[in-house]
A and B are shown apart, each in its own frame.
Chain A
Protein backbone atom coordinates (compact mmCIF):
# COMPACT_ATOMS: atom_id res chain seq x y z
CA UNK A 1 0.00 0.00 0.00
CA UNK A 2 1.41 3.34 -0.96
CA UNK A 3 0.00 6.79 -1.57
CA UNK A 4 -0.69 6.12 -5.22
CA UNK A 5 -2.68 3.02 -4.46
CA UNK A 6 -4.64 4.87 -1.81
CA UNK A 7 -5.58 7.54 -4.32
CA UNK A 8 -6.62 4.86 -6.77
CA UNK A 9 -8.75 3.10 -4.17
CA UNK A 10 -10.30 6.39 -3.16
CA UNK A 11 -11.26 7.07 -6.74
CA UNK A 12 -12.79 3.64 -7.10
CA UNK A 13 -14.80 4.06 -3.90
CA UNK A 14 -16.21 7.35 -5.16
CA UNK A 15 -17.74 5.63 -8.15
CA UNK A 16 -18.63 2.29 -6.64
CA UNK A 17 -21.98 0.59 -6.42
CA UNK A 18 -22.44 -1.65 -3.35
CA UNK A 19 -21.02 -4.78 -4.97
CA UNK A 20 -18.04 -2.91 -6.35
CA UNK A 21 -17.41 -1.69 -2.82
CA UNK A 22 -17.08 -5.34 -1.77
CA UNK A 23 -14.56 -5.98 -4.55
CA UNK A 24 -12.62 -2.90 -3.48
CA UNK A 25 -12.52 -4.09 0.12
CA UNK A 26 -11.14 -7.43 -1.02
CA UNK A 27 -8.54 -5.62 -3.11
CA UNK A 28 -7.51 -3.52 -0.12
CA UNK A 29 -7.23 -6.67 1.97
CA UNK A 30 -5.10 -8.37 -0.70
CA UNK A 31 -2.81 -5.34 -0.96
CA UNK A 32 -2.17 -5.41 2.78
CA UNK A 33 -1.71 -9.16 2.60
CA UNK A 34 1.07 -8.72 0.05
CA UNK A 35 2.68 -6.09 2.25
CA UNK A 36 2.64 -8.57 5.12
CA UNK A 37 4.06 -11.36 2.98
CA UNK A 38 6.97 -9.10 2.05
CA UNK A 39 7.68 -7.93 5.58
CA UNK A 40 7.20 -11.12 7.60
CA UNK A 41 10.30 -13.07 6.52
CA UNK A 42 12.54 -10.40 8.02
CA UNK A 43 10.31 -9.49 10.95
CA UNK A 44 12.23 -11.54 13.49
CA UNK A 45 15.46 -9.70 12.82
CA UNK A 46 14.59 -6.19 11.77
CA UNK A 47 12.50 -3.94 13.95
CA UNK A 48 11.25 -1.92 10.97
CA UNK A 49 10.02 -5.03 9.19
CA UNK A 50 8.34 -6.23 12.37
CA UNK A 51 6.40 -2.97 12.64
CA UNK A 52 5.55 -3.08 8.97
CA UNK A 53 4.23 -6.62 9.14
CA UNK A 54 2.24 -5.94 12.31
CA UNK A 55 0.61 -2.93 10.70
CA UNK A 56 -0.19 -4.77 7.47
CA UNK A 57 -1.72 -7.71 9.33
CA UNK A 58 -3.75 -5.38 11.49
CA UNK A 59 -5.14 -3.66 8.42
CA UNK A 60 -5.82 -6.98 6.77
CA UNK A 61 -7.77 -8.03 9.82
CA UNK A 62 -9.71 -4.76 9.81
CA UNK A 63 -10.66 -5.27 6.17
CA UNK A 64 -12.02 -8.72 6.89
CA UNK A 65 -13.92 -7.46 9.93
CA UNK A 66 -15.36 -4.71 7.76
CA UNK A 67 -16.75 -7.34 5.39
CA UNK A 68 -17.92 -9.50 8.26
CA UNK A 69 -19.81 -6.67 9.93
CA UNK A 70 -21.63 -5.94 6.69
CA UNK A 71 -23.12 -9.41 6.57
CA UNK A 72 -26.87 -9.72 6.72
CA UNK A 73 -27.67 -13.02 8.36
CA UNK A 74 -31.15 -13.13 6.96
CA UNK A 75 -29.56 -14.79 3.98
CA UNK A 76 -28.18 -18.31 4.16
CA UNK A 77 -25.05 -17.54 2.17
CA UNK A 78 -23.96 -15.08 4.89
CA UNK A 79 -23.15 -18.10 7.05
CA UNK A 80 -20.72 -19.39 4.45
CA UNK A 81 -19.02 -16.02 4.34
CA UNK A 82 -18.79 -15.98 8.13
CA UNK A 83 -17.11 -19.40 8.14
CA UNK A 84 -14.55 -18.23 5.63
CA UNK A 85 -13.85 -14.95 7.38
CA UNK A 86 -13.44 -16.73 10.72
CA UNK A 87 -10.96 -19.11 9.13
CA UNK A 88 -9.08 -16.19 7.58
CA UNK A 89 -8.88 -14.40 10.93
CA UNK A 90 -7.45 -17.48 12.57
CA UNK A 91 -4.83 -17.90 9.88
CA UNK A 92 -3.88 -14.23 10.19
CA UNK A 93 -3.46 -14.70 13.95
CA UNK A 94 -1.25 -17.72 13.26
CA UNK A 95 0.87 -15.76 10.82
CA UNK A 96 1.32 -13.00 13.37
CA UNK A 97 2.15 -15.39 16.20
CA UNK A 98 4.55 -17.49 14.18
CA UNK A 99 5.98 -14.49 12.30
CA UNK A 100 5.64 -16.62 9.23
CA UNK A 101 3.96 -15.84 5.93
CA UNK A 102 2.96 -19.45 5.23
CA UNK A 103 -0.62 -19.25 6.61
CA UNK A 104 -1.18 -16.16 4.46
CA UNK A 105 -0.98 -18.28 1.30
CA UNK A 106 -4.20 -19.98 2.38
CA UNK A 107 -5.77 -16.62 3.10
CA UNK A 108 -4.84 -15.36 -0.34
CA UNK A 109 -6.63 -18.29 -2.00
CA UNK A 110 -9.84 -17.64 -0.08
CA UNK A 111 -9.87 -13.90 -0.64
CA UNK A 112 -8.91 -13.96 -4.34
CA UNK A 113 -11.58 -16.48 -5.15
CA UNK A 114 -14.33 -14.54 -3.39
CA UNK A 115 -13.12 -11.30 -4.90
CA UNK A 116 -13.30 -12.69 -8.41
CA UNK A 117 -16.81 -14.02 -7.90
CA UNK A 118 -18.03 -10.66 -6.71
CA UNK A 119 -16.31 -8.94 -9.60
CA UNK A 120 -18.18 -11.15 -12.01
CA UNK A 121 -21.54 -10.18 -10.59
CA UNK A 122 -20.86 -6.52 -10.08
CA UNK A 123 -22.38 -5.58 -13.40
CA UNK A 124 -25.62 -7.16 -12.21
CA UNK A 125 -25.90 -4.69 -9.36
CA UNK A 126 -28.07 -1.99 -10.82
CA UNK A 127 -27.98 0.19 -7.74
CA UNK A 128 -26.59 3.71 -7.98
CA UNK A 129 -23.12 4.60 -6.77
CA UNK A 130 -23.24 5.14 -3.06
CA UNK A 131 -21.50 8.45 -2.88
CA UNK A 132 -23.62 11.41 -3.77
CA UNK A 133 -22.31 14.40 -5.61
CA UNK A 134 -19.16 12.57 -6.55
CA UNK A 135 -18.06 13.43 -10.01
CA UNK A 136 -17.96 10.88 -12.76
CA UNK A 137 -14.40 10.16 -13.54
CA UNK A 138 -13.54 8.89 -17.00
CA UNK A 139 -9.86 9.56 -17.00
CA UNK A 140 -8.46 11.07 -13.85
CA UNK A 141 -6.12 13.99 -14.13
CA UNK A 142 -6.03 16.20 -11.11
CA UNK A 143 -3.59 18.91 -10.35
CA UNK A 144 -2.62 20.68 -7.23
CA UNK A 145 0.17 23.06 -6.51
CA UNK A 146 3.36 21.45 -7.69
CA UNK A 147 1.66 18.15 -8.31
CA UNK A 148 -0.07 16.54 -11.23
CA UNK A 149 -1.75 13.21 -10.59
CA UNK A 150 -3.14 10.91 -13.15
CA UNK A 151 -5.20 7.86 -12.45
CA UNK A 152 -6.29 5.65 -15.26
CA UNK A 153 -9.12 3.26 -14.47
CA UNK A 154 -8.44 -0.25 -15.68
CA UNK A 155 -11.71 -0.32 -17.61
CA UNK A 156 -11.10 2.92 -19.48
CA UNK A 157 -14.20 3.02 -21.64
CA UNK A 158 -14.79 6.55 -20.48
CA UNK A 159 -18.52 5.93 -20.31
CA UNK A 160 -18.84 4.73 -23.87
CA UNK A 161 -20.52 1.44 -24.43
CA UNK A 162 -18.24 0.23 -27.19
Chain B
Protein backbone atom coordinates (compact mmCIF):
# COMPACT_ATOMS: atom_id res chain seq x y z
CA UNK B 1 0.00 0.00 0.00
CA UNK B 2 1.39 3.31 -1.01
CA UNK B 3 0.85 6.22 1.33
CA UNK B 4 1.31 9.60 -0.14
CA UNK B 5 1.41 12.79 1.72
CA UNK B 6 -2.27 13.27 1.47
CA UNK B 7 -3.07 14.89 4.80
CA UNK B 8 -6.69 13.79 4.91
CA UNK B 9 -5.74 10.26 4.07
CA UNK B 10 -2.93 10.50 6.56
CA UNK B 11 -5.29 11.54 9.30
CA UNK B 12 -7.66 8.76 8.38
CA UNK B 13 -4.84 6.26 8.41
CA UNK B 14 -3.69 7.52 11.80
CA UNK B 15 -7.08 7.04 13.33
CA UNK B 16 -7.32 3.62 11.75
CA UNK B 17 -3.95 2.76 13.25
CA UNK B 18 -5.05 4.06 16.59
CA UNK B 19 -8.16 1.95 16.46
CA UNK B 20 -6.11 -1.01 15.48
CA UNK B 21 -3.85 -0.45 18.43
CA UNK B 22 -6.79 -0.24 20.76
CA UNK B 23 -8.27 -3.40 19.37
CA UNK B 24 -5.05 -5.30 19.74
CA UNK B 25 -4.58 -3.99 23.25
CA UNK B 26 -8.09 -5.16 24.13
CA UNK B 27 -7.41 -8.51 22.56
CA UNK B 28 -4.25 -8.73 24.60
CA UNK B 29 -6.19 -7.90 27.69
CA UNK B 30 -8.80 -10.53 26.98
CA UNK B 31 -6.40 -13.26 26.14
CA UNK B 32 -3.96 -12.82 28.97
CA UNK B 33 -6.59 -12.16 31.57
CA UNK B 34 -4.47 -9.37 32.99
CA UNK B 35 -5.90 -5.93 33.29
CA UNK B 36 -2.55 -4.27 33.05
CA UNK B 37 -0.75 -5.20 29.90
CA UNK B 38 2.34 -3.09 29.72
CA UNK B 39 4.04 -0.54 31.90
CA UNK B 40 3.52 2.17 29.36
CA UNK B 41 -0.18 1.80 29.70
CA UNK B 42 -0.57 2.18 33.41
CA UNK B 43 2.73 2.26 35.25
CA UNK B 44 1.28 2.72 38.72
CA UNK B 45 -1.21 -0.05 38.12
CA UNK B 46 1.51 -2.36 36.89
CA UNK B 47 3.65 -1.65 39.89
CA UNK B 48 0.77 -2.54 42.16
CA UNK B 49 -0.20 -5.74 40.48
CA UNK B 50 3.38 -6.94 40.42
CA UNK B 51 3.61 -6.38 44.13
CA UNK B 52 0.42 -8.33 44.65
CA UNK B 53 1.83 -11.12 42.57
CA UNK B 54 4.82 -11.18 44.84
CA UNK B 55 2.45 -11.34 47.77
CA UNK B 56 0.62 -14.27 46.28
CA UNK B 57 3.83 -16.07 45.39
CA UNK B 58 5.16 -15.19 48.79
CA UNK B 59 2.01 -16.55 50.32
CA UNK B 60 2.39 -19.80 48.42
CA UNK B 61 5.92 -20.16 49.72
CA UNK B 62 4.77 -19.23 53.20
CA UNK B 63 2.17 -21.96 52.86
CA UNK B 64 4.96 -24.40 52.19
CA UNK B 65 6.87 -23.12 55.18
CA UNK B 66 3.79 -23.41 57.30
CA UNK B 67 3.11 -26.97 56.25
CA UNK B 68 6.77 -27.69 56.96
CA UNK B 69 6.18 -26.28 60.42
CA UNK B 70 3.23 -28.60 60.83
CA UNK B 71 5.44 -31.51 59.77
CA UNK B 72 8.09 -30.56 62.30
CA UNK B 73 5.45 -30.49 65.00
CA UNK B 74 4.18 -33.92 63.96
CA UNK B 75 7.68 -35.40 63.88
CA UNK B 76 8.53 -34.02 67.32
CA UNK B 77 5.20 -35.13 68.72
CA UNK B 78 5.58 -38.63 67.31
CA UNK B 79 8.92 -39.03 69.04
CA UNK B 80 7.61 -37.54 72.28
CA UNK B 81 4.65 -39.94 72.27
CA UNK B 82 7.12 -42.78 72.46
CA UNK B 83 9.12 -41.06 75.20
CA UNK B 84 5.91 -40.62 77.14
CA UNK B 85 5.20 -44.35 76.86
CA UNK B 86 8.70 -45.15 78.01
CA UNK B 87 8.34 -42.94 81.06
CA UNK B 88 5.06 -44.66 81.91
CA UNK B 89 6.85 -47.98 81.74
CA UNK B 90 9.64 -46.72 84.01
CA UNK B 91 6.91 -45.59 86.39
CA UNK B 92 5.44 -49.10 86.42
CA UNK B 93 8.86 -50.57 87.11
CA UNK B 94 9.47 -48.11 89.94
CA UNK B 95 6.15 -48.95 91.55
CA UNK B 96 6.98 -52.61 91.27
CA UNK B 97 10.45 -52.21 92.70
CA UNK B 98 9.17 -50.11 95.56
CA UNK B 99 7.60 -53.12 97.17
CA UNK B 100 9.41 -54.75 100.10
CA UNK B 101 8.74 -58.23 98.71
CA UNK B 102 11.70 -58.09 96.35
CA UNK B 103 15.32 -58.84 97.01
CA UNK B 104 17.91 -56.48 95.62
CA UNK B 105 18.89 -59.12 93.05
CA UNK B 106 15.33 -59.03 91.66
CA UNK B 107 15.44 -55.29 91.55
CA UNK B 108 18.57 -55.50 89.41
CA UNK B 109 16.51 -56.93 86.56
CA UNK B 110 13.93 -54.17 86.82
CA UNK B 111 16.73 -51.64 86.94
CA UNK B 112 18.27 -53.10 83.79
CA UNK B 113 15.06 -52.44 81.91
CA UNK B 114 14.70 -48.97 83.38
CA UNK B 115 18.29 -48.08 82.46
CA UNK B 116 17.77 -49.33 78.94
CA UNK B 117 14.64 -47.20 78.61
CA UNK B 118 16.52 -44.16 79.84
CA UNK B 119 19.27 -44.79 77.30
CA UNK B 120 16.60 -45.03 74.62
CA UNK B 121 15.20 -41.66 75.67
CA UNK B 122 18.66 -40.15 75.30
CA UNK B 123 18.99 -41.72 71.87
CA UNK B 124 15.65 -40.33 70.75
CA UNK B 125 16.74 -36.88 71.87
CA UNK B 126 19.87 -37.19 69.80
CA UNK B 127 18.47 -38.90 66.70
CA UNK B 128 15.09 -37.31 66.07
CA UNK B 129 15.62 -34.97 63.22
CA UNK B 130 13.88 -33.10 60.46
CA UNK B 131 15.65 -32.34 57.21
CA UNK B 132 18.95 -33.22 58.81
CA UNK B 133 18.49 -30.98 61.84
CA UNK B 134 18.08 -32.52 65.27
CA UNK B 135 14.88 -31.42 66.94
CA UNK B 136 15.00 -32.54 70.55
CA UNK B 137 18.60 -32.05 71.62
CA UNK B 138 18.40 -28.44 72.69
CA UNK B 139 19.31 -27.12 69.25
CA UNK B 140 16.12 -25.09 69.25
CA UNK B 141 16.05 -24.06 72.86
CA UNK B 142 16.49 -20.50 74.03
CA UNK B 143 20.18 -19.82 74.48
CA UNK B 144 21.90 -18.32 77.45
CA UNK B 145 25.54 -17.74 78.29
CA UNK B 146 27.62 -16.93 81.33
CA UNK B 147 30.13 -14.38 80.20
CA UNK B 148 32.72 -14.45 82.94
CA UNK B 149 32.99 -18.02 84.15
CA UNK B 150 33.97 -21.28 82.53
CA UNK B 151 32.56 -23.36 85.34
CA UNK B 152 29.00 -22.10 85.28
CA UNK B 153 26.63 -22.29 82.36
CA UNK B 154 22.98 -21.63 81.71
CA UNK B 155 21.04 -24.87 81.54
CA UNK B 156 17.62 -23.51 80.74
CA UNK B 157 15.28 -20.61 81.43
CA UNK B 158 11.61 -19.91 81.10
CA UNK B 159 9.91 -17.97 78.29
CA UNK B 160 8.92 -15.12 80.57
CA UNK B 161 12.40 -14.03 81.45
CA UNK B 162 13.04 -10.56 80.07
CA UNK B 163 16.00 -10.83 77.74
CA UNK B 164 19.21 -9.12 78.73
CA UNK B 165 22.38 -9.61 80.73
CA UNK B 166 21.85 -10.20 84.41
CA UNK B 167 24.46 -9.76 87.12
CA UNK B 168 24.60 -11.76 90.33
CA UNK B 169 25.42 -10.12 93.66
CA UNK B 170 29.06 -9.62 94.48
CA UNK B 171 28.94 -11.54 97.72
CA UNK B 172 27.63 -15.09 97.48
CA UNK B 173 28.93 -18.31 99.05
CA UNK B 174 31.09 -20.41 96.80
CA UNK B 175 29.73 -23.69 95.56
CA UNK B 176 31.18 -26.82 97.09
CA UNK B 177 30.89 -30.41 95.98
CA UNK B 178 30.76 -33.68 97.87
CA UNK B 179 32.45 -36.93 96.90
CA UNK B 180 29.46 -38.00 94.80
CA UNK B 181 29.68 -34.93 92.64
CA UNK B 182 26.65 -33.19 94.08
CA UNK B 183 26.57 -29.67 95.46
CA UNK B 184 26.94 -30.01 99.18
CA UNK B 185 26.36 -26.59 100.70
CA UNK B 186 22.74 -26.28 99.80
CA UNK B 187 21.06 -26.07 103.17
CA UNK B 188 21.96 -24.37 106.33
CA UNK B 189 20.83 -27.36 108.32
CA UNK B 190 23.90 -29.28 107.34
CA UNK B 191 26.19 -29.27 110.34
CA UNK B 192 29.32 -29.41 108.25
CA UNK B 193 28.75 -25.90 106.98
CA UNK B 194 28.14 -22.70 108.84
CA UNK B 195 24.95 -20.97 107.88
CA UNK B 196 26.96 -18.34 106.03
CA UNK B 197 27.65 -20.95 103.33
CA UNK B 198 24.11 -22.00 102.53
CA UNK B 199 22.85 -21.45 98.99
CA UNK B 200 19.14 -22.18 99.09
CA UNK B 201 17.01 -19.18 99.89
CA UNK B 202 19.59 -16.57 98.97
CA UNK B 203 18.13 -13.53 97.28
CA UNK B 204 19.80 -12.46 94.05
CA UNK B 205 18.72 -8.86 93.76
CA UNK B 206 21.46 -6.39 92.96
CA UNK B 207 20.72 -2.83 94.03
CA UNK B 208 22.59 -1.00 91.31
CA UNK B 209 23.51 -3.41 88.55
CA UNK B 210 25.53 -1.03 86.40
CA UNK B 211 25.41 0.05 82.79
CA UNK B 212 23.48 -2.30 80.50
CA UNK B 213 23.02 -4.93 83.17
CA UNK B 214 19.89 -6.15 84.89
CA UNK B 215 19.20 -7.61 88.26
CA UNK B 216 17.29 -10.77 89.08
CA UNK B 217 14.79 -8.91 91.21
CA UNK B 218 12.49 -10.99 93.41
CA UNK B 219 14.49 -14.09 92.58
CA UNK B 220 16.03 -16.44 95.07
CA UNK B 221 17.90 -19.69 94.76
CA UNK B 222 15.02 -22.04 95.36
CA UNK B 223 16.66 -25.43 95.07
CA UNK B 224 19.87 -27.30 94.48
CA UNK B 225 19.70 -30.58 92.57
CA UNK B 226 22.85 -32.48 91.73
CA UNK B 227 25.01 -29.86 90.06
CA UNK B 228 22.26 -27.41 89.20
CA UNK B 229 21.00 -24.30 90.93
CA UNK B 230 17.38 -23.43 90.44
CA UNK B 231 16.55 -19.75 90.56
CA UNK B 232 13.00 -18.49 90.57
CA UNK B 233 10.83 -15.56 91.56
CA UNK B 234 8.01 -17.84 92.61
CA UNK B 235 5.94 -16.84 89.62
CA UNK B 236 6.93 -17.58 86.06
CA UNK B 237 10.54 -16.56 85.92
CA UNK B 238 12.87 -19.50 86.21
CA UNK B 239 16.55 -19.91 85.44
CA UNK B 240 18.67 -23.00 85.96
CA UNK B 241 22.43 -22.75 86.21
CA UNK B 242 24.64 -25.77 85.80
CA UNK B 243 27.93 -25.86 87.68
CA UNK B 244 30.71 -27.92 86.21
CA UNK B 245 31.78 -30.70 88.50
CA UNK B 246 35.45 -30.55 89.53
CA UNK B 247 37.62 -33.14 87.85
CA UNK B 248 38.85 -34.51 91.14
CA UNK B 249 36.04 -34.80 93.65
CA UNK B 250 37.05 -34.01 97.21
CA UNK B 251 37.38 -36.65 99.86
CA UNK B 252 37.30 -34.02 102.56
CA UNK B 253 34.45 -31.54 102.31
CA UNK B 254 35.93 -28.20 102.97
CA UNK B 255 37.60 -26.99 99.77
CA UNK B 256 36.46 -23.75 98.15
CA UNK B 257 35.48 -24.44 94.58
CA UNK B 258 33.25 -22.48 92.25
CA UNK B 259 32.50 -18.83 92.72
CA UNK B 260 29.17 -17.29 91.77
CA UNK B 261 30.00 -13.71 92.61
CA UNK B 262 29.25 -11.02 90.07
CA UNK B 263 28.56 -13.53 87.36
CA UNK B 264 27.12 -12.01 84.22
CA UNK B 265 24.39 -14.16 82.82
CA UNK B 266 23.30 -13.30 79.32
CA UNK B 267 19.81 -14.53 78.51
CA UNK B 268 19.36 -13.75 74.89
CA UNK B 269 15.88 -15.03 74.22
CA UNK B 270 17.16 -16.34 70.90
CA UNK B 271 17.64 -19.82 69.61
CA UNK B 272 14.12 -20.96 68.91
CA UNK B 273 13.29 -22.16 65.41
CA UNK B 274 11.92 -19.27 63.40
CA UNK B 275 9.36 -20.10 60.76
CA UNK B 276 8.41 -17.60 58.13
CA UNK B 277 4.68 -18.00 58.10
CA UNK B 278 3.57 -15.00 56.10
CA UNK B 279 4.57 -13.30 52.90
CA UNK B 280 6.13 -10.30 54.60
CA UNK B 281 8.81 -9.39 57.10
CA UNK B 282 8.06 -10.05 60.77
CA UNK B 283 5.40 -12.61 59.99
CA UNK B 284 7.22 -15.29 61.86
CA UNK B 285 6.53 -17.90 64.46
CA UNK B 286 9.17 -18.82 67.02
CA UNK B 287 9.15 -22.50 67.85
CA UNK B 288 10.93 -23.30 71.09
CA UNK B 289 11.81 -26.92 71.85
CA UNK B 290 13.68 -27.62 75.07
CA UNK B 291 16.41 -30.20 75.32
CA UNK B 292 14.97 -33.62 76.06
CA UNK B 293 17.69 -34.62 78.51
CA UNK B 294 17.34 -36.86 81.55
CA UNK B 295 18.76 -34.02 83.59
CA UNK B 296 16.08 -31.60 82.43
CA UNK B 297 13.50 -34.22 83.30
CA UNK B 298 14.91 -34.59 86.78
CA UNK B 299 15.86 -38.24 86.31
CA UNK B 300 19.58 -37.63 86.38
CA UNK B 301 21.99 -35.12 87.83
CA UNK B 302 24.54 -35.36 85.09
CA UNK B 303 25.09 -36.88 81.70
CA UNK B 304 27.14 -39.86 82.86
CA UNK B 305 25.19 -43.02 83.65
CA UNK B 306 26.33 -43.00 87.26
CA UNK B 307 24.26 -39.86 87.86
CA UNK B 308 20.99 -41.47 86.83
CA UNK B 309 18.23 -42.56 89.16
CA UNK B 310 18.01 -46.32 89.52
CA UNK B 311 15.94 -49.11 90.98
CA UNK B 312 18.65 -51.07 92.76
CA UNK B 313 17.29 -50.61 96.24
CA UNK B 314 13.91 -49.85 97.69
CA UNK B 315 15.05 -46.36 98.67
CA UNK B 316 16.29 -45.77 95.14
CA UNK B 317 12.95 -46.97 93.77
CA UNK B 318 11.15 -44.62 96.11
CA UNK B 319 13.31 -41.71 94.94
CA UNK B 320 12.72 -42.51 91.27
CA UNK B 321 9.00 -42.87 91.86
CA UNK B 322 8.90 -39.35 93.26
CA UNK B 323 10.82 -37.96 90.30
CA UNK B 324 9.06 -39.73 87.45
CA UNK B 325 5.95 -37.58 87.87
CA UNK B 326 8.07 -34.52 87.23
CA UNK B 327 9.60 -36.14 84.17
CA UNK B 328 6.22 -36.99 82.70
CA UNK B 329 5.09 -33.45 83.38
CA UNK B 330 8.16 -32.07 81.60
CA UNK B 331 7.42 -34.10 78.47
CA UNK B 332 3.73 -33.18 78.62
CA UNK B 333 4.67 -29.52 78.79
CA UNK B 334 6.79 -29.78 75.66
CA UNK B 335 4.01 -31.63 73.88
CA UNK B 336 1.35 -29.11 74.78
CA UNK B 337 3.65 -26.30 73.72
CA UNK B 338 4.13 -28.05 70.36
CA UNK B 339 0.37 -28.56 70.16
CA UNK B 340 -0.14 -24.84 70.69
CA UNK B 341 2.34 -24.06 67.93
CA UNK B 342 0.54 -26.51 65.68
CA UNK B 343 -2.76 -24.74 66.35
CA UNK B 344 -1.20 -21.43 65.46
CA UNK B 345 0.26 -22.90 62.30
CA UNK B 346 -3.02 -24.46 61.27
CA UNK B 347 -4.66 -21.12 61.90
CA UNK B 348 -1.96 -19.49 59.77
CA UNK B 349 -2.55 -21.90 56.93
CA UNK B 350 -6.20 -20.87 57.00
CA UNK B 351 -5.32 -17.19 57.08
CA UNK B 352 -2.95 -17.59 54.18
CA UNK B 353 -5.67 -19.24 52.19
CA UNK B 354 -8.05 -16.45 53.06
CA UNK B 355 -5.44 -14.09 51.70
CA UNK B 356 -5.45 -16.15 48.56
CA UNK B 357 -9.19 -15.41 48.39
CA UNK B 358 -10.09 -18.94 49.10
CA UNK B 359 -12.31 -19.68 52.08
CA UNK B 360 -11.42 -23.22 52.95
CA UNK B 361 -11.95 -25.02 56.22
CA UNK B 362 -9.17 -26.11 58.52
CA UNK B 363 -7.29 -29.28 57.73
CA UNK B 364 -8.08 -31.84 60.36
CA UNK B 365 -5.38 -33.47 62.41
CA UNK B 366 -5.55 -37.24 62.28
CA UNK B 367 -4.94 -38.74 65.68
CA UNK B 368 -5.11 -42.50 65.25
CA UNK B 369 -5.17 -45.31 62.76
CA UNK B 370 -8.97 -45.54 62.54
CA UNK B 371 -9.26 -41.89 61.61
CA UNK B 372 -6.41 -42.41 59.16
CA UNK B 373 -8.22 -45.28 57.53
CA UNK B 374 -11.43 -43.26 57.17
CA UNK B 375 -9.56 -40.25 55.83
CA UNK B 376 -7.61 -42.40 53.39
CA UNK B 377 -10.76 -43.99 52.01
CA UNK B 378 -12.46 -40.63 51.73
CA UNK B 379 -9.48 -38.96 50.07
CA UNK B 380 -8.86 -41.84 47.65
CA UNK B 381 -12.48 -41.63 46.58
CA UNK B 382 -12.14 -37.90 46.10
CA UNK B 383 -9.11 -38.40 43.90
CA UNK B 384 -11.09 -40.76 41.68
CA UNK B 385 -14.22 -38.68 41.51
CA UNK B 386 -12.52 -35.27 41.27
CA UNK B 387 -9.57 -36.23 39.15
CA UNK B 388 -8.92 -32.81 37.67
CA UNK B 389 -8.77 -30.91 40.96
CA UNK B 390 -6.75 -33.67 42.57
CA UNK B 391 -4.20 -33.41 39.81
CA UNK B 392 -4.08 -29.66 40.19
CA UNK B 393 -3.76 -29.98 43.94
CA UNK B 394 -0.98 -32.54 44.04
CA UNK B 395 0.64 -33.09 40.67
CA UNK B 396 2.97 -30.11 40.80
CA UNK B 397 6.39 -31.64 41.20
CA UNK B 398 9.51 -31.16 39.16
CA UNK B 399 11.26 -34.27 37.86
CA UNK B 400 14.57 -33.07 39.32
CA UNK B 401 13.04 -33.03 42.81
CA UNK B 402 11.86 -36.61 42.44
CA UNK B 403 15.20 -37.77 41.08
CA UNK B 404 16.86 -36.27 44.15
CA UNK B 405 15.04 -38.80 46.29
CA UNK B 406 17.10 -41.48 44.63
CA UNK B 407 20.45 -39.95 45.59
Contact = CB atoms under 8 A, between A and B. Distances in A.
A83 B365 contact: yes
Contact of A73 (B79, B82, B127, B349): B349
Contacts of B63: 73
Given A6-B406, A86-B70, A120-B384, A71 B393 contact: yes
A70 B396 contact: yes
B269 to A, nearest CB: 28
Contacts of A114: 376, 379-380, 383
Contact of A84 (B68, B71, B379, B403): B379
Nearest to B116: A44
Given A21-B395, A77-B393, A28 B128 contact: no
A80 B375 contact: yes
A16 B399 contact: yes
A66 B64 CA distance: 11
Contacts of A14: 399
A73 B380 contact: no
B15 interface: no
A83 B346 CA distance: 11
Contacts of A118: 383, 390, 394-395
Name B's interface SS. Answer: helix
B401 A96 contact: no
Interface stretch (A87-95, A135-143, A145-153): A87-95
Interface stretch (B99-107, B193-201, B353-361): B353-361
A134 B386 CA distance: 30
Given A21-B399, A25-B405, A94 B82 contact: yes
A65 B365 CA distance: 17
B74 interface: yes
B389 interface: yes
Given A28-B405, A66-B401, A84-B366, A97 B389 contact: no
Given A59-B405, A73-B356, A78 B81 contact: no
Interface in B129-165: 129-131
B372 A106 contact: yes
Contact of B128 (A16, A19, A22, A96): A96
Given A66-B405, A110-B372, A22 B395 contact: yes
A63 B131 CA distance: 11
Contacts of B247: none
A47 interface: no
A74 B375 CA distance: 20
A46 interface: no
Contacts of B390: 75, 77, 117-118, 121
B352 A109 contact: no
Given A93-B128, A97-B82, A117-B384, A22 B74 contact: no
Contact of B387 (A71, A75, A124): A124
B67 A75 contact: no
Interface in A83-130: 83-87, 89-94, 96-99, 106, 109-110, 113-114, 116-118, 120-121, 124-125, 130
Interface of A: 1, 6, 9-10, 13-14, 16, 18-19, 21-22, 24-25, 28, 54, 58-59, 61-63, 65-87, 89-94, 96-99, 106, 109-110, 113-114, 116-118, 120-121, 124-125, 130-131
Given A13-B402, A90-B78, 10 more contacts: A14-B399, A24-B402, A61-B130, A74-B353, A75-B390, A79-B361, A83-B375, A84-B366, A89-B71, A96-B79
